């Protein structure tokens, strides 16, 4: 990493550009080179043995570590204020490696509120196969009573996907520490530009880097950040044993995406606030789920732990499934797609896409109805997005 001036705390925009990287020592290239190799040579027999035993630093094999991937990891650690980070091939690889590294048969995991559909599948369906018990609580107020001697992990996603529920991270961290459990926060929606969970006491923060970190819809990845003591076993399991490593090509795209992360997230957040206020007054919309609206039940908590309120919202249409189908099919500028956090604005119907594999009764408990539409606001002109939404809502 560059010898950055550390006499003062650097801002997130500066860290996004400079954190974790330096000009290439061989060529002086400013952009991080893509180290496209599967294996790395070592100078002699003893050096190889020492590297593989962990007694000597050095690259060996790109599934274990790669210079391009390392820059991405260091940049993410800098942005999250973490000691270290490990990258993975996807957000689900990051979540799976984290949970399986922290939990063993007989352990319990408490998950709070609504989770992304893929995460729900791991927690509710996969972990029980290995003797790990999931315990669900609807909100933080129920957390303390749910702890047992077997609770080892508390998992939360805030803002939550897709209903934008907000959880008090500082309170989760406090209660988890008191119970001797590791707290894990999925920070995908907020990004480190809006919320830094580790600074609020959370132990581990993770992301689907496919979303805002990439920002351009052209790379898939995940990342987990925290203390070396917690991240090292996640690295060992996720990369050496599961083999879910990030490729250097994807890492290069994610490094590029991080450089503009603060600018993109701020632009989409400011635009989303205006869009949410417009939708809140539309006769076809029953409810707008956006923490930037004062009537949102998580508004006060979000105001404390978020710099802005993010670029994602959900709306409940009065006409249910048929209205959702008509609305989505009429959109012109906003694209129907299941991802989020792109420069392009995207919209989807969670019940039939991102959460379609979640049991219907769990979807209902989580507020994922047939009339719910999730919208990810990009960086287009706000007036153009509002006009597109207005014409799509006409006649519903």
* 281 C-beta neighbours (distance < 10 Å), count: 8
Phi, psi of 137 (to 5 degrees): -125, 145
9-16 contact pairs (CB < 8 A, 24+):
12/79, 12/192, 12/193, 12/262, 13/262, 13/263, 15/75, 15/78, 15/79, 16/75, 16/79, 16/193, 16/258, 16/259, 16/260, 16/261, 16/262
- 63 catalytic? Reply is yes
- 116 catalytic? Reply is yes
Polymer length in residues for the chain:
396
| Contact call for residues 389 and 378 (beta carbons, < 8 A) | no
Cα gap 337→350, rounded to integer Å = 10
Tally the C-alpha atoms within 13 A of residue 62's C-alpha that lie toward its C-beta: 15
- DSSP single-letter state for residue 10: P
- 13 catalytic? Reply is no
Cα gap 255→236, rounded to integer Å = 23
Catalytic residue among 42, 61, 63, 280: 63
Pair of tokens at residue 181 = 């459990």
Cα gap 373→316, rounded to integer Å = 7
Per the listing, tokens 């490729």 go with 247
Phi/psi zone of residue 110: left (φ > 0), alpha (ψ -120 to 50 degrees), beta? beta
Catalytic residue among 107, 168, 186, 370: 186
Helix, strand, coil abundance in the chain, percent, nearest 5: 40, 15, 45
Phi, psi of 225 (to 5 degrees): -135, 150
Cα gap 269→288, rounded to integer Å = 15
In the beta sheet, which residues pair with residue 85?
Answer: 225
- 168 catalytic? Reply is no
Catalytic residue among 116, 193, 212, 290: 116
Catalytic residue among 211, 259, 264, 363: 211
- DSSP single-letter state for residue 277: H
Q: Catalogue the active-site residues.
A: 63, 116, 186, 211
């Amino acid at each position: 990493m560059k010898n950055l001036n550390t006499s003062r705390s650097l801002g997130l925009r500066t860290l996004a550009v400079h954190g974790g990287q330096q000009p290439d020592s061989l060529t002086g290239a400013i952009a991080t080179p893509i180290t496209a190799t599967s294996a790395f040579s070592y100078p002699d027999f003893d050096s190889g043995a020492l590297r593989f035993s962990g007694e000597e630093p050095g690259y060996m094999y790109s599934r274990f570590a790669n210079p391009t991937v390392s820059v991405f990891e260091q940049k993410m650690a800098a942005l999250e204020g973490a000691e270290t980070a490990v990258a993975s091939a996807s957000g689900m690889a990051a979540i799976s490696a984290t949970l399986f590294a922290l939990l063993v048969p007989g352990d319990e995991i408490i998950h709070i509120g609504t989770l992304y559909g893929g995460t729900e599948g791991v927690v509710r369906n996969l972990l029980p196969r290995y003797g790990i018990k999931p315990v669900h609580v609807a909100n933080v107020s129920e957390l303390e009573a749910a702890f047992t001697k077997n609770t080892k992990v508390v998992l939360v996603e805030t803002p939550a996907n897709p209903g934008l529920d907000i959880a008090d991270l500082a309170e989760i961290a406090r209660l988890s520490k008191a119970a001797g459990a590791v707290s894990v926060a999925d920070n995908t929606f907020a990004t480190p530009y809006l919320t830094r969970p580790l600074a609020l006491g959370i132990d581990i923060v993770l992301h689907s880097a496919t979303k805002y970190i990439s920002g351009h819809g052209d790379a898939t990845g995940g990342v987990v950040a925290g203390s070396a003591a917690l991240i090292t076993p996640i690295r060992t399991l996720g990369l050496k044993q599961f083999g879910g490593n990030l490729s250097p090509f994807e890492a290069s795209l994610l490094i590029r995406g991080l450089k503009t992360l603060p600018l993109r997230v701020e632009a989409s957040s400011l635009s989303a606030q205006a869009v949410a206020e417009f939708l809140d007054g539309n006769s076809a919309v029953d409810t707008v789920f956006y923490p930037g609206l004062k009537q949102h039940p998580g508004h006060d908590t979000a105001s404390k732990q978020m710099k802005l309120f993010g670029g994602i919202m959900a709306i409940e249409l009065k006409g249910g499934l048929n209205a959702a189908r008509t609305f989505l099919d009429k959109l012109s500028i906003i694209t129907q797609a299941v991802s989020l956090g792109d420069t392009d604005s995207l919209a989807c119907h969670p019940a039939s896409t991102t959460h379609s594999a979640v049991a219907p009764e769990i979807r209902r408990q989580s507020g994922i109805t047939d009339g719910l539409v999730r919208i990810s606001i990009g960086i287009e002109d706000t007036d153009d997005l509002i006009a597109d939404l207005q014409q799509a809502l006409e006649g519903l």
